[in-house]
Amino acid sequence: MKHKLLHFWKPLLAVTFWGASFVATKIALNELNPQTIILLRQLLGFLILFTIALYTHRDFRINLKNHGWIFILALIAAAHLLIQVTGIKYTSATNTGWIVGTTPIFMALLGFIIFKEELSPLKISGIIVAFAGVLLLISRGNILNIGFISHKGDFLVLTSAFTWSVYSMVNKKISINYSPMMTILFMFLMISIIIAPITINHDSIYSVLHLSLKGWIAILFLGILCSGVSFVLWAQSLSEFEATKVGAFLYFEPFVTVFAAWMFLNELISIITIAAGLIITAGVIIVNRE
């Protein structure tokens, strides 16, 4: 039992990296466009997973049916990443961390609309609470001050929470006969292939060649630790513990983002921001209780 408890460092570390990823993305956006960041991150993540797969003698045989499903997941994930990273460009890392946490809310709504899953009064109350928190966060306490143009970054990030819920629901309903790590490895490669044609040009190559040390640290952090190492740690955690116990660590992610944004980006932590974040978290917890 004690040995298993020691392994909780894996999901904790993965969530810590993911929470800080929004800050690293914000830093990288000072020098690179969203598409370039995504391509570099996916390629680095693929290389890390490919190296691990070779070292652990994984099976690289291709099954067209499995790869067809992975390609569909890659298309959804590519759209999700483009929306989210573009959104981060126009909003704060702190807001991004809190808003991304609403993904379970959209999953509950999609489950009700598409798969006719039950939406109990408790879940409905949780959804209302979470969206009230989002409105408070975006408006900074003045609901009448919300505009789709002036707050486009927040709304793009909110849209990315929806696209990730679509990805999660599709992933949940399909059957792929690969290990989680190999599925992610192939998906990273496919996302890179999808993104490359709209990314590789003179300007993107120039920006990468002239990337500062700070920019490279951000990209290497995103690719190696957030995309590569974190996905392996998360997959191992899911195989060692119950999914609900591992998933509970995700509640910690926005708090990592807030702290990292304050430390590295000097983003202010206002009372309204913390209150809105706690309201969002409370709503998500209510939805997830069932």
Burial 120-152 (b: 16+ CB within 10 A, else e): eeebeebbebbbbbbebbbbeeeeeeeeeeebe
Q: Tell me the helix, strand and coil percentages in the chain, rounded to 5.
A: 80, 0, 20
For the full predicted model, state whether its pTM sits above 0.75.
yes
Count: domains in the chain:
1
Nearby residues of 123 by Cβ (< 8 Å), 6 or more positions away: 108, 286, 287, 290
Share of the chain above pLDDT 90, in %: 65
Residue 20 confidence class, pLDDT cut points 50, 70, 90: very high
Q: What are phi and psi of 146, to 5 degrees?
A: -85, 130
DSSP 234-281: HHHHHHHS-HHHHHGGGGGHHHHHHHHHHHHS-----HHHHHHHHHHH
Q: What is the structure's pLDDT at 17?
A: 96
Angle formed at CA 181 by CA 175 and CA 186, multiple of 5 degrees: 75
Nearby residues of 273 by Cβ (< 8 Å), 6 or more positions away: 94, 95, 98, 137, 140, 258
Question: CB 168: neighbour CB atoms within 10 A?
Answer: 17
Residue type, position 39, single letter:
L
Which residue range is the domain that position 216 belongs to? Answer: 2-288
Q: What is the structure's pLDDT at 119?
A: 87
pLDDT digits 0-9 by tens, 150-193? 789 999 999 999 999 999 888 877 878 888 888 899 999 999 99
Q: What is the structure's pLDDT at 243?
A: 66
Residue 196 in this model has a pLDDT that exceeds 70: yes
pLDDT digits 0-9 by tens, 200-251? 999 999 999 999 999 999 999 999 999 989 988 887 787 777 766 777 788 8
pLDDT digits 0-9 by tens, 102-151? 998 998 998 888 878 888 999 999 999 999 999 999 988 777 677 777 78
Nearest CA among 228, 194, 263 for reference residue 39: 194
pLDDT digits 0-9 by tens, 257-271? 999 999 999 998 889
Q: What is the structure's pLDDT at 79?
A: 97
Residue 44 in this model has a pLDDT that exceeds 70: yes
Q: What is the structure's pLDDT at 237?
A: 81
Q: What is the structure's pLDDT at 6?
A: 56
- Cα separation, 125 vs 136, in Å, equals 17
Mean pLDDT of the chain: 90
Q: What is the structure's pLDDT at 3?
A: 52
Q: What is the structure's pLDDT at 290?
A: 61
Residue 1 in this model has a pLDDT that exceeds 70: no
